[in-house]
Chain A
Protein backbone atom coordinates (compact mmCIF):
# COMPACT_ATOMS: atom_id res chain seq x y z
CA UNK A 1 0.00 0.00 0.00
CA UNK A 2 1.39 3.50 0.54
CA UNK A 3 4.95 4.55 0.22
CA UNK A 4 6.24 6.21 3.39
CA UNK A 5 8.65 9.09 3.10
CA UNK A 6 10.33 10.64 6.11
CA UNK A 7 12.20 13.84 5.40
CA UNK A 8 14.64 15.44 7.84
CA UNK A 9 12.84 14.18 10.93
CA UNK A 10 14.26 15.73 14.08
CA UNK A 11 12.92 15.53 17.62
CA UNK A 12 13.45 13.76 20.92
CA UNK A 13 16.36 11.45 20.09
CA UNK A 14 16.05 11.67 16.30
CA UNK A 15 18.56 13.66 14.39
CA UNK A 16 17.72 14.62 10.80
CA UNK A 17 16.39 11.23 9.73
CA UNK A 18 15.37 10.75 6.11
CA UNK A 19 14.03 7.39 5.04
CA UNK A 20 11.75 5.98 2.36
CA UNK A 21 9.76 2.80 2.76
CA UNK A 22 8.45 1.51 -0.54
CA UNK A 23 4.98 0.32 -1.35
CA UNK A 24 4.34 -3.08 0.31
CA UNK A 25 7.86 -3.20 1.57
CA UNK A 26 8.76 -4.77 4.91
CA UNK A 27 11.50 -2.67 6.47
CA UNK A 28 13.31 -3.53 9.68
CA UNK A 29 14.62 -0.81 11.99
CA UNK A 30 17.59 -2.24 13.80
CA UNK A 31 19.81 -0.60 16.36
CA UNK A 32 20.89 -0.59 19.99
CA UNK A 33 18.62 0.49 22.86
CA UNK A 34 17.88 4.22 22.89
CA UNK A 35 18.82 4.63 19.23
CA UNK A 36 15.42 6.11 18.39
CA UNK A 37 13.72 3.12 16.78
CA UNK A 38 10.44 3.36 18.69
CA UNK A 39 10.45 7.15 18.44
CA UNK A 40 10.61 6.82 14.66
CA UNK A 41 7.57 4.52 14.71
CA UNK A 42 5.77 7.07 16.90
CA UNK A 43 6.59 9.77 14.34
CA UNK A 44 5.04 7.70 11.53
CA UNK A 45 1.96 7.03 13.69
CA UNK A 46 1.71 10.70 14.68
CA UNK A 47 1.99 9.95 18.39
CA UNK A 48 4.91 12.24 19.11
CA UNK A 49 5.98 15.76 18.15
CA UNK A 50 8.62 16.14 15.48
CA UNK A 51 10.14 18.56 13.02
CA UNK A 52 10.43 17.54 9.39
CA UNK A 53 7.99 15.91 7.01
CA UNK A 54 6.08 12.64 6.94
CA UNK A 55 4.46 11.75 3.61
CA UNK A 56 2.25 8.79 2.69
CA UNK A 57 2.11 8.39 -1.08
CA UNK A 58 3.37 11.96 -1.45
CA UNK A 59 0.63 13.36 0.81
CA UNK A 60 1.80 15.30 3.86
CA UNK A 61 0.70 13.71 7.13
CA UNK A 62 2.17 16.33 9.45
CA UNK A 63 -1.19 17.85 10.34
CA UNK A 64 -3.10 14.59 10.25
CA UNK A 65 -3.92 13.28 13.77
CA UNK A 66 -3.10 9.63 14.61
CA UNK A 67 -6.67 8.41 14.25
CA UNK A 68 -6.84 9.59 10.65
CA UNK A 69 -3.47 8.26 9.48
CA UNK A 70 -4.57 4.67 8.91
CA UNK A 71 -1.50 3.28 10.61
CA UNK A 72 -1.78 0.04 12.56
CA UNK A 73 0.63 -0.13 15.47
CA UNK A 74 1.69 -3.12 17.52
CA UNK A 75 3.17 -1.65 20.68
CA UNK A 76 5.88 -3.58 22.45
CA UNK A 77 3.73 -3.90 25.57
CA UNK A 78 0.80 -5.01 23.36
CA UNK A 79 -1.70 -3.10 25.53
CA UNK A 80 -4.71 -5.29 24.80
CA UNK A 81 -7.83 -3.60 26.15
CA UNK A 82 -8.32 -5.50 29.44
CA UNK A 83 -12.07 -4.89 29.51
CA UNK A 84 -12.72 -6.34 26.07
CA UNK A 85 -12.68 -9.94 24.88
CA UNK A 86 -10.33 -11.12 22.12
CA UNK A 87 -13.07 -10.54 19.53
CA UNK A 88 -13.88 -7.17 21.14
CA UNK A 89 -10.25 -6.11 20.90
CA UNK A 90 -9.98 -7.09 17.25
CA UNK A 91 -13.34 -5.53 16.37
CA UNK A 92 -12.58 -2.22 18.11
CA UNK A 93 -10.96 -0.44 15.16
CA UNK A 94 -13.67 -1.63 12.78
CA UNK A 95 -16.40 -0.45 15.16
CA UNK A 96 -15.01 3.06 15.64
CA UNK A 97 -14.67 3.39 11.88
CA UNK A 98 -18.33 2.53 11.47
CA UNK A 99 -18.13 -0.77 9.60
CA UNK A 100 -21.30 -2.87 9.48
CA UNK A 101 -21.89 -5.74 11.88
CA UNK A 102 -21.46 -8.26 9.03
CA UNK A 103 -18.13 -6.78 7.89
CA UNK A 104 -16.88 -6.72 11.47
CA UNK A 105 -17.85 -10.35 12.11
CA UNK A 106 -16.35 -11.50 8.82
CA UNK A 107 -13.09 -9.64 9.38
CA UNK A 108 -12.75 -10.85 12.98
CA UNK A 109 -13.31 -14.45 11.82
CA UNK A 110 -10.87 -14.06 8.94
CA UNK A 111 -8.08 -12.71 11.16
CA UNK A 112 -8.66 -15.06 14.09
CA UNK A 113 -8.46 -17.96 11.64
CA UNK A 114 -5.34 -16.60 9.93
CA UNK A 115 -3.59 -16.13 13.26
CA UNK A 116 -4.89 -19.39 14.78
CA UNK A 117 -6.77 -17.73 17.63
CA UNK A 118 -10.28 -18.70 16.52
CA UNK A 119 -10.93 -20.61 19.73
CA UNK A 120 -9.99 -17.68 21.94
CA UNK A 121 -12.56 -15.18 20.67
CA UNK A 122 -14.52 -14.93 23.93
CA UNK A 123 -11.55 -14.90 26.30
CA UNK A 124 -10.41 -11.84 28.19
CA UNK A 125 -6.75 -10.79 27.71
CA UNK A 126 -5.68 -11.72 31.25
CA UNK A 127 -6.57 -15.29 30.36
CA UNK A 128 -4.15 -15.54 27.42
CA UNK A 129 -0.55 -16.71 27.14
CA UNK A 130 2.21 -14.39 25.89
CA UNK A 131 2.08 -15.84 22.38
CA UNK A 132 -1.70 -15.65 22.21
CA UNK A 133 -1.66 -12.02 23.34
CA UNK A 134 0.86 -11.27 20.61
CA UNK A 135 -1.40 -12.79 17.97
CA UNK A 136 -4.47 -10.94 19.22
CA UNK A 137 -2.57 -7.63 19.25
CA UNK A 138 -1.42 -8.16 15.66
CA UNK A 139 -4.92 -9.08 14.53
CA UNK A 140 -6.25 -5.95 16.24
CA UNK A 141 -3.63 -3.72 14.61
CA UNK A 142 -4.37 -5.08 11.14
CA UNK A 143 -8.16 -5.43 11.47
CA UNK A 144 -9.43 -1.99 10.38
CA UNK A 145 -7.93 -2.42 6.91
CA UNK A 146 -4.84 -0.39 7.76
CA UNK A 147 -2.55 0.70 4.96
CA UNK A 148 0.57 0.79 7.04
CA UNK A 149 1.65 -1.46 9.88
CA UNK A 150 4.19 -0.61 12.56
CA UNK A 151 5.49 -3.40 14.77
CA UNK A 152 7.59 -2.65 17.83
CA UNK A 153 9.57 -5.77 18.71
CA UNK A 154 6.89 -8.16 17.44
CA UNK A 155 8.58 -11.21 18.93
CA UNK A 156 10.05 -9.74 22.10
CA UNK A 157 7.56 -11.48 24.41
CA UNK A 158 8.11 -14.92 22.92
CA UNK A 159 10.64 -17.65 23.62
CA UNK A 160 13.33 -18.17 20.96
CA UNK A 161 11.68 -21.14 19.28
CA UNK A 162 8.20 -19.62 19.16
CA UNK A 163 9.68 -16.32 18.00
CA UNK A 164 11.35 -17.96 15.03
CA UNK A 165 8.18 -19.76 13.99
CA UNK A 166 6.10 -16.63 14.53
CA UNK A 167 8.43 -14.49 12.42
CA UNK A 168 8.09 -16.77 9.41
CA UNK A 169 4.33 -16.91 9.88
CA UNK A 170 4.13 -13.14 10.18
CA UNK A 171 6.30 -12.74 7.12
CA UNK A 172 3.84 -14.77 5.04
CA UNK A 173 0.85 -12.89 6.43
CA UNK A 174 2.35 -9.45 5.73
CA UNK A 175 3.12 -10.37 2.13
CA UNK A 176 -0.37 -11.75 1.66
CA UNK A 177 -1.98 -8.60 3.04
CA UNK A 178 0.28 -6.35 0.94
CA UNK A 179 0.71 -3.89 3.75
CA UNK A 180 3.67 -1.51 4.02
CA UNK A 181 5.40 -2.53 7.24
CA UNK A 182 8.07 -1.00 9.43
CA UNK A 183 9.19 -3.13 12.33
CA UNK A 184 11.62 -2.59 15.13
CA UNK A 185 13.81 -5.45 16.19
CA UNK A 186 17.02 -5.51 18.16
CA UNK A 187 18.56 -8.62 16.71
CA UNK A 188 19.83 -8.78 13.21
CA UNK A 189 18.92 -12.42 12.66
CA UNK A 190 15.26 -11.69 13.25
CA UNK A 191 15.44 -8.70 10.91
CA UNK A 192 17.03 -10.81 8.22
CA UNK A 193 14.25 -13.38 8.39
CA UNK A 194 11.42 -10.93 7.83
CA UNK A 195 12.65 -7.79 6.13
CA UNK A 196 13.11 -6.76 2.51
CA UNK A 197 15.48 -4.08 3.70
CA UNK A 198 17.12 -3.21 6.98
CA UNK A 199 17.68 0.32 8.27
CA UNK A 200 20.37 0.54 10.90
CA UNK A 201 19.80 3.38 13.31
CA UNK A 202 22.30 4.62 15.83
CA UNK A 203 22.01 7.60 18.19
CA UNK A 204 19.06 9.01 16.28
CA UNK A 205 20.63 8.81 12.83
CA UNK A 206 20.21 6.29 10.04
CA UNK A 207 23.56 4.66 9.34
CA UNK A 208 22.61 2.46 6.42
CA UNK A 209 19.52 1.21 4.61
CA UNK A 210 20.09 -1.89 2.52
CA UNK A 211 19.02 -5.47 1.90
CA UNK A 212 20.04 -7.87 4.69
CA UNK A 213 22.81 -9.30 2.49
CA UNK A 214 24.19 -5.88 1.63
CA UNK A 215 24.22 -4.84 5.25
CA UNK A 216 26.27 -7.91 6.01
CA UNK A 217 28.65 -7.86 3.10
CA UNK A 218 28.94 -4.15 2.49
CA UNK A 219 28.59 -2.32 5.79
CA UNK A 220 28.91 1.35 4.91
CA UNK A 221 29.98 2.77 8.24
CA UNK A 222 32.06 1.63 11.16
CA UNK A 223 28.94 1.71 13.35
CA UNK A 224 27.14 -0.78 11.06
CA UNK A 225 30.18 -2.96 10.92
CA UNK A 226 30.41 -2.91 14.73
CA UNK A 227 26.69 -3.58 15.06
CA UNK A 228 26.66 -6.61 12.81
CA UNK A 229 29.67 -7.87 14.74
CA UNK A 230 32.58 -7.05 12.40
CA UNK A 231 32.23 -10.18 10.27
CA UNK A 232 35.13 -11.75 8.45
CA UNK A 233 34.36 -11.37 4.74
CA UNK A 234 36.10 -13.95 2.58
CA UNK A 235 36.20 -13.63 -1.22
CA UNK A 236 35.41 -16.88 -2.91
CA UNK A 237 37.94 -17.86 -5.57
CA UNK A 238 36.45 -21.22 -6.34
CA UNK A 239 33.27 -23.00 -5.40
CA UNK A 240 33.18 -26.79 -5.77
CA UNK A 241 30.13 -28.96 -5.24
CA UNK A 242 31.08 -31.84 -2.94
CA UNK A 243 27.74 -33.58 -2.92
CA UNK A 244 24.10 -32.55 -3.07
CA UNK A 245 23.68 -29.60 -0.74
CA UNK A 246 27.33 -29.36 0.25
CA UNK A 247 30.01 -27.15 -1.32
CA UNK A 248 33.62 -26.33 -0.67
CA UNK A 249 34.69 -22.72 -1.03
CA UNK A 250 38.30 -21.80 -1.65
CA UNK A 251 39.39 -18.39 -0.41
CA UNK A 252 43.10 -17.79 -0.76
CA UNK A 253 44.53 -20.97 0.72
CA UNK A 254 41.62 -21.55 3.05
CA UNK A 255 38.98 -24.18 2.33
CA UNK A 256 35.55 -23.80 3.93
CA UNK A 257 32.81 -26.41 3.63
CA UNK A 258 29.20 -25.34 3.98
CA UNK A 259 25.70 -26.51 3.17
CA UNK A 260 24.61 -24.86 -0.10
CA UNK A 261 22.87 -25.79 -3.37
CA UNK A 262 24.77 -24.78 -6.52
CA UNK A 263 28.16 -23.20 -7.01
CA UNK A 264 27.45 -19.48 -7.23
CA UNK A 265 28.86 -18.29 -3.90
CA UNK A 266 30.99 -15.18 -4.29
CA UNK A 267 31.57 -14.11 -0.69
CA UNK A 268 31.37 -15.64 2.74
CA UNK A 269 30.75 -13.85 6.01
CA UNK A 270 31.78 -15.40 9.28
CA UNK A 271 30.86 -13.68 12.52
CA UNK A 272 33.79 -13.42 14.99
CA UNK A 273 31.80 -15.17 17.72
CA UNK A 274 31.26 -18.13 15.40
CA UNK A 275 35.00 -18.77 15.37
CA UNK A 276 36.26 -20.84 18.27
CA UNK A 277 39.86 -20.78 19.41
CA UNK A 278 41.55 -23.71 21.11
CA UNK A 279 45.12 -24.09 22.32
CA UNK A 280 44.97 -27.88 21.89
CA UNK A 281 44.07 -29.78 18.73
CA UNK A 282 40.31 -30.45 18.88
CA UNK A 283 39.13 -34.04 18.38
CA UNK A 284 36.95 -35.05 15.41
CA UNK A 285 37.19 -34.62 11.64
CA UNK A 286 39.26 -31.77 10.26
CA UNK A 287 36.26 -30.10 8.64
CA UNK A 288 36.48 -26.29 8.86
CA UNK A 289 39.30 -26.57 11.37
CA UNK A 290 42.58 -24.78 10.87
CA UNK A 291 45.77 -23.88 12.60
CA UNK A 292 47.03 -20.31 12.64
CA UNK A 293 49.06 -17.71 14.48
CA UNK A 294 47.75 -14.85 16.58
CA UNK A 295 48.77 -11.57 14.97
CA UNK A 296 46.80 -9.07 16.99
CA UNK A 297 44.85 -8.86 20.26
CA UNK A 298 42.12 -6.20 20.62
CA UNK A 299 40.73 -6.04 24.17
CA UNK A 300 37.16 -4.62 24.37
CA UNK A 301 34.99 -4.17 27.43
CA UNK A 302 33.50 -7.65 27.96
CA UNK A 303 35.14 -9.51 25.11
CA UNK A 304 38.52 -9.79 23.46
CA UNK A 305 38.96 -9.87 19.70
CA UNK A 306 41.84 -11.94 18.47
CA UNK A 307 43.17 -11.77 14.94
CA UNK A 308 44.48 -15.12 13.70
CA UNK A 309 46.27 -15.62 10.38
CA UNK A 310 45.48 -18.89 8.65
CA UNK A 311 47.44 -19.59 5.47
CA UNK A 312 47.75 -15.88 4.77
CA UNK A 313 44.07 -15.14 5.48
CA UNK A 314 43.34 -12.98 8.53
CA UNK A 315 40.34 -14.08 10.63
CA UNK A 316 38.87 -12.19 13.55
CA UNK A 317 37.63 -14.29 16.48
CA UNK A 318 35.80 -13.10 19.56
CA UNK A 319 36.24 -14.61 23.03
CA UNK A 320 34.83 -13.77 26.41
CA UNK A 321 37.37 -12.13 28.68
CA UNK A 322 37.36 -15.11 31.08
CA UNK A 323 38.10 -17.60 28.28
CA UNK A 324 40.83 -15.33 26.95
CA UNK A 325 42.47 -15.02 30.38
CA UNK A 326 42.23 -18.78 30.98
CA UNK A 327 43.92 -19.61 27.69
CA UNK A 328 46.80 -17.17 28.25
CA UNK A 329 46.93 -16.17 24.60
CA UNK A 330 49.58 -13.80 23.26
CA UNK A 331 50.63 -12.40 19.91
CA UNK A 332 52.64 -15.09 18.11
CA UNK A 333 50.91 -18.06 19.85
CA UNK A 334 49.91 -20.91 17.57
CA UNK A 335 46.24 -21.83 17.94
CA UNK A 336 43.62 -24.16 16.49
CA UNK A 337 40.45 -22.58 15.21
CA UNK A 338 37.05 -24.04 14.45
CA UNK A 339 34.54 -22.29 12.19
CA UNK A 340 30.94 -23.01 13.11
CA UNK A 341 29.33 -24.50 10.03
CA UNK A 342 25.73 -23.63 10.76
CA UNK A 343 26.02 -19.86 10.92
CA UNK A 344 27.98 -19.12 7.75
CA UNK A 345 26.45 -16.45 5.56
CA UNK A 346 27.06 -16.33 1.85
CA UNK A 347 26.67 -13.80 -0.93
CA UNK A 348 25.74 -15.10 -4.38
CA UNK A 349 26.28 -13.79 -7.88
Chain B
Protein backbone atom coordinates (compact mmCIF):
# COMPACT_ATOMS: atom_id res chain seq x y z
CA UNK B 1 0.00 0.00 0.00
CA UNK B 2 1.44 3.36 -1.00
CA UNK B 3 1.76 6.14 1.51
CA UNK B 4 -0.86 8.13 -0.33
CA UNK B 5 -3.36 5.27 -0.11
CA UNK B 6 -2.55 4.68 3.53
CA UNK B 7 -3.16 8.30 4.48
CA UNK B 8 -6.42 8.42 2.51
CA UNK B 9 -7.55 5.19 4.18
CA UNK B 10 -6.88 6.61 7.63
CA UNK B 11 -8.88 9.72 6.83
CA UNK B 12 -11.76 7.51 5.66
CA UNK B 13 -11.51 5.47 8.87
CA UNK B 14 -11.95 8.71 10.83
CA UNK B 15 -15.03 9.49 8.79
CA UNK B 16 -16.43 6.00 9.38
CA UNK B 17 -15.83 6.38 13.12
CA UNK B 18 -17.80 9.60 13.46
CA UNK B 19 -20.33 8.73 10.77
CA UNK B 20 -20.93 5.35 12.40
CA UNK B 21 -21.48 6.95 15.79
CA UNK B 22 -23.99 9.40 14.37
CA UNK B 23 -25.69 6.62 12.42
CA UNK B 24 -26.04 4.54 15.59
CA UNK B 25 -28.30 7.28 16.99
CA UNK B 26 -30.92 6.29 14.47
CA UNK B 27 -31.27 2.86 16.12
CA UNK B 28 -33.22 4.66 18.85
CA UNK B 29 -34.73 7.27 16.55
CA UNK B 30 -38.45 7.60 16.76
CA UNK B 31 -39.92 10.02 14.22
CA UNK B 32 -43.07 10.83 16.17
CA UNK B 33 -41.11 11.33 19.39
CA UNK B 34 -38.62 13.53 17.57
CA UNK B 35 -41.25 16.08 16.57
CA UNK B 36 -43.05 15.79 19.87
CA UNK B 37 -39.83 16.51 21.78
CA UNK B 38 -38.86 19.25 19.37
CA UNK B 39 -42.19 20.98 19.89
CA UNK B 40 -42.18 20.64 23.68
CA UNK B 41 -41.85 23.88 25.61
CA UNK B 42 -38.86 22.57 27.55
CA UNK B 43 -36.89 21.65 24.41
CA UNK B 44 -37.77 24.86 22.63
CA UNK B 45 -36.68 26.78 25.71
CA UNK B 46 -33.36 24.90 25.76
CA UNK B 47 -32.77 25.61 22.08
CA UNK B 48 -33.60 29.29 22.48
CA UNK B 49 -31.52 29.58 25.65
CA UNK B 50 -28.56 27.86 24.01
CA UNK B 51 -28.69 29.99 20.87
CA UNK B 52 -29.14 33.20 22.87
CA UNK B 53 -26.42 32.56 25.49
CA UNK B 54 -23.93 31.27 22.91
CA UNK B 55 -24.49 34.38 20.79
CA UNK B 56 -24.15 36.83 23.70
CA UNK B 57 -21.06 35.18 25.15
CA UNK B 58 -19.47 34.93 21.69
CA UNK B 59 -20.00 38.66 21.10
CA UNK B 60 -18.43 39.46 24.50
CA UNK B 61 -15.57 36.99 23.94
CA UNK B 62 -14.81 38.36 20.45
CA UNK B 63 -14.96 41.99 21.61
CA UNK B 64 -12.41 41.15 24.32
CA UNK B 65 -10.41 38.87 22.04
CA UNK B 66 -9.82 41.33 19.18
CA UNK B 67 -7.65 43.85 21.10
CA UNK B 68 -5.91 41.07 23.07
CA UNK B 69 -5.16 39.10 19.90
CA UNK B 70 -3.86 42.27 18.25
CA UNK B 71 -1.49 42.96 21.14
CA UNK B 72 -0.21 39.39 21.12
CA UNK B 73 0.16 39.38 17.34
CA UNK B 74 1.89 42.74 16.94
CA UNK B 75 3.79 43.72 20.06
CA UNK B 76 6.61 42.23 22.08
CA UNK B 77 5.95 43.24 25.67
CA UNK B 78 6.70 42.10 29.20
CA UNK B 79 4.38 39.27 30.24
CA UNK B 80 3.42 38.35 26.68
CA UNK B 81 4.56 34.73 27.09
CA UNK B 82 2.65 34.47 30.38
CA UNK B 83 -0.58 35.67 28.79
CA UNK B 84 -0.05 33.36 25.84
CA UNK B 85 0.38 30.40 28.19
CA UNK B 86 -2.63 31.23 30.35
CA UNK B 87 -4.82 31.32 27.22
CA UNK B 88 -4.32 27.58 27.01
CA UNK B 89 -5.85 27.10 30.44
CA UNK B 90 -9.40 26.50 29.14
CA UNK B 91 -7.99 24.00 26.65
CA UNK B 92 -5.98 21.92 29.10
CA UNK B 93 -8.13 22.24 32.23
CA UNK B 94 -11.48 20.47 32.17
CA UNK B 95 -14.44 22.90 31.95
CA UNK B 96 -15.86 21.40 35.17
CA UNK B 97 -12.66 22.40 36.95
CA UNK B 98 -12.89 25.91 35.49
CA UNK B 99 -16.50 26.11 36.66
CA UNK B 100 -15.43 24.90 40.07
CA UNK B 101 -12.78 27.62 40.21
CA UNK B 102 -15.48 30.21 39.47
CA UNK B 103 -17.75 28.77 42.14
CA UNK B 104 -14.91 28.84 44.66
CA UNK B 105 -14.25 32.46 43.72
CA UNK B 106 -17.89 33.40 44.41
CA UNK B 107 -17.45 31.97 47.88
CA UNK B 108 -14.56 34.29 48.69
CA UNK B 109 -15.39 37.73 50.23
CA UNK B 110 -14.66 39.47 46.89
CA UNK B 111 -16.85 37.03 44.97
CA UNK B 112 -19.65 37.28 47.54
CA UNK B 113 -19.52 41.08 47.34
CA UNK B 114 -19.83 40.92 43.55
CA UNK B 115 -22.77 38.52 43.80
CA UNK B 116 -24.58 40.61 46.42
CA UNK B 117 -24.04 44.04 44.97
CA UNK B 118 -23.36 43.31 41.31
CA UNK B 119 -24.60 40.52 39.14
CA UNK B 120 -25.75 37.22 40.57
CA UNK B 121 -24.06 34.52 38.51
CA UNK B 122 -24.63 31.33 40.42
CA UNK B 123 -27.67 29.41 39.17
CA UNK B 124 -28.73 32.21 36.79
CA UNK B 125 -28.50 32.86 33.05
CA UNK B 126 -25.55 35.16 33.79
CA UNK B 127 -23.79 32.09 35.07
CA UNK B 128 -24.24 30.54 31.61
CA UNK B 129 -22.76 33.63 29.95
CA UNK B 130 -19.81 33.52 32.33
CA UNK B 131 -19.27 29.77 31.88
CA UNK B 132 -19.30 30.04 28.09
CA UNK B 133 -17.19 33.19 28.13
CA UNK B 134 -14.36 31.79 30.24
CA UNK B 135 -14.23 28.52 28.35
CA UNK B 136 -14.22 30.12 24.89
CA UNK B 137 -12.17 33.30 25.40
CA UNK B 138 -8.81 31.54 25.11
CA UNK B 139 -9.75 29.82 21.88
CA UNK B 140 -11.27 33.02 20.47
CA UNK B 141 -8.03 34.93 21.12
CA UNK B 142 -5.94 32.13 19.63
CA UNK B 143 -8.03 31.93 16.46
CA UNK B 144 -8.22 35.70 15.95
CA UNK B 145 -4.50 36.05 16.63
CA UNK B 146 -3.83 33.45 13.94
CA UNK B 147 -5.98 35.46 11.52
CA UNK B 148 -4.11 38.66 12.40
CA UNK B 149 -0.70 37.00 12.09
CA UNK B 150 -1.58 36.36 8.45
CA UNK B 151 -1.85 40.11 7.73
CA UNK B 152 1.62 41.63 7.19
CA UNK B 153 2.52 44.50 9.57
CA UNK B 154 3.65 46.31 6.42
CA UNK B 155 0.08 47.41 5.61
CA UNK B 156 -0.14 49.24 8.93
CA UNK B 157 3.25 50.83 8.36
CA UNK B 158 2.03 52.10 5.00
CA UNK B 159 -1.14 53.45 6.60
CA UNK B 160 0.92 55.25 9.24
CA UNK B 161 3.21 56.90 6.70
CA UNK B 162 0.04 58.09 4.96
CA UNK B 163 -1.10 59.83 8.14
CA UNK B 164 -3.24 57.24 9.91
CA UNK B 165 -2.88 56.96 13.69
CA UNK B 166 -2.13 53.44 14.97
CA UNK B 167 -5.79 52.97 15.98
CA UNK B 168 -7.01 54.23 12.61
CA UNK B 169 -4.54 52.01 10.76
CA UNK B 170 -5.87 49.04 12.73
CA UNK B 171 -9.52 49.89 12.11
CA UNK B 172 -9.20 50.76 8.42
CA UNK B 173 -6.57 48.28 7.28
CA UNK B 174 -5.88 45.32 9.58
CA UNK B 175 -9.46 44.76 10.74
CA UNK B 176 -11.04 44.75 7.26
CA UNK B 177 -8.23 42.53 5.98
CA UNK B 178 -8.78 39.87 8.66
CA UNK B 179 -12.57 40.21 8.59
CA UNK B 180 -13.05 36.72 7.16
CA UNK B 181 -10.71 35.27 9.77
CA UNK B 182 -12.55 37.03 12.57
CA UNK B 183 -15.94 35.87 11.31
CA UNK B 184 -14.69 32.31 10.99
CA UNK B 185 -13.17 32.49 14.49
CA UNK B 186 -16.42 33.88 15.87
CA UNK B 187 -18.43 31.05 14.37
CA UNK B 188 -16.09 28.43 15.82
CA UNK B 189 -16.22 30.21 19.18
CA UNK B 190 -19.99 30.22 18.95
CA UNK B 191 -20.05 26.49 18.18
CA UNK B 192 -17.82 25.85 21.19
CA UNK B 193 -20.05 28.01 23.43
CA UNK B 194 -23.13 26.18 22.14
CA UNK B 195 -21.71 22.83 23.16
CA UNK B 196 -20.34 24.03 26.52
CA UNK B 197 -21.47 21.77 29.34
CA UNK B 198 -19.04 21.30 32.25
CA UNK B 199 -18.64 24.89 33.39
CA UNK B 200 -22.29 25.71 32.65
CA UNK B 201 -23.74 22.97 34.85
CA UNK B 202 -21.24 23.76 37.60
CA UNK B 203 -21.97 27.50 37.74
CA UNK B 204 -25.53 27.84 36.46
CA UNK B 205 -26.93 24.43 37.44
CA UNK B 206 -29.51 22.48 35.48
CA UNK B 207 -32.86 24.03 36.25
CA UNK B 208 -35.42 23.20 33.57
CA UNK B 209 -36.90 26.27 31.90
CA UNK B 210 -34.26 28.42 33.61
CA UNK B 211 -30.66 27.38 33.02
CA UNK B 212 -31.03 24.20 31.00
CA UNK B 213 -29.07 24.58 27.76
CA UNK B 214 -29.15 21.79 25.12
CA UNK B 215 -25.97 20.04 26.40
CA UNK B 216 -27.29 20.20 29.97
CA UNK B 217 -30.66 18.89 28.80
CA UNK B 218 -28.90 15.98 27.04
CA UNK B 219 -27.14 15.10 30.28
CA UNK B 220 -30.38 15.33 32.27
CA UNK B 221 -32.26 13.07 29.81
CA UNK B 222 -29.45 10.56 29.87
CA UNK B 223 -29.30 10.65 33.67
CA UNK B 224 -32.99 9.72 33.75
CA UNK B 225 -32.37 6.88 31.23
CA UNK B 226 -34.45 8.60 28.53
CA UNK B 227 -32.44 7.31 25.55
CA UNK B 228 -34.93 8.41 22.86
CA UNK B 229 -35.13 11.93 24.32
CA UNK B 230 -31.33 12.06 24.46
CA UNK B 231 -31.07 10.99 20.80
CA UNK B 232 -33.47 13.76 19.74
CA UNK B 233 -31.51 16.47 21.55
CA UNK B 234 -28.17 15.14 20.31
CA UNK B 235 -29.48 15.19 16.73
CA UNK B 236 -30.60 18.80 17.18
CA UNK B 237 -27.21 19.80 18.56
CA UNK B 238 -25.38 17.95 15.76
CA UNK B 239 -27.65 19.57 13.18
CA UNK B 240 -26.93 23.07 14.42
CA UNK B 241 -23.20 22.37 14.85
CA UNK B 242 -22.65 20.81 11.41
CA UNK B 243 -24.68 23.55 9.74
CA UNK B 244 -22.48 26.17 11.34
CA UNK B 245 -19.22 24.41 10.52
CA UNK B 246 -20.29 24.03 6.93
CA UNK B 247 -20.88 27.78 6.93
CA UNK B 248 -17.32 28.33 8.18
CA UNK B 249 -15.99 26.09 5.43
CA UNK B 250 -17.83 28.17 2.84
CA UNK B 251 -16.48 31.39 4.34
CA UNK B 252 -12.85 30.40 4.70
CA UNK B 253 -12.76 28.23 1.57
CA UNK B 254 -12.82 31.27 -0.64
CA UNK B 255 -9.48 32.90 -0.22
CA UNK B 256 -9.28 36.68 -0.18
CA UNK B 257 -7.92 37.84 -3.53
CA UNK B 258 -4.59 39.47 -2.73
Task: Name A residues whose Cβ lies closer than 8 Å to a Cβ of B.
Answer: 45, 47, 65-73, 75, 77, 79, 81-83, 92-93, 96-97, 124-126, 140-141, 143-144
Contacts and interface: CB of A to CB of B under 8 A. Distances in A.
Contacts, number: 75
Given A67-B160, A92-B164, 9 more contacts: A66-B160, A67-B162, A70-B163, A73-B161, A75-B157, A79-B158, A83-B176, A93-B162, A96-B165
Interface in B141-180: 152, 154-155, 157-166, 168-169, 172-173, 176-177
A342 B164 CA distance: 48
Nearest to A72: B161
B19 interface: no
Contact of A82 (B157, B168, B169, B258): B258
19 contacts: A47-B157, A65-B165, A65-B166, A67-B159, A75-B154, A79-B155, A81-B155, A81-B159, A81-B173, A81-B177, A83-B177, A92-B172, A93-B163, A97-B163, A125-B258, A126-B258, A141-B162, A144-B162, A144-B163
Contacts of B169: 67
Contacts of B177: 81-83
A75 B163 contact: no
Contacts of B172: 92, 96
B155 A47 contact: no
Contacts of B159: 67, 81, 92, 96
Interface residues of B, number: 22
Nearest to A143: B162
B257 interface: yes
A103 to B, nearest CB: 14
B77 to A, nearest CB: 15
A341 B154 CA distance: 44
A124 B257 CA distance: 9
A65 B256 CA distance: 31
B258 A141 contact: no
A100 to B, nearest CB: 15
Interface in B175-231: 176-177
Closest 10 CB pairs of A and B: A93-B162, A73-B161, A66-B160, A96-B164, A82-B258, A79-B154, A97-B163, A67-B160, A126-B257, A96-B163
Contacts of B165: 65, 67, 96
B81 to A, nearest CB: 21
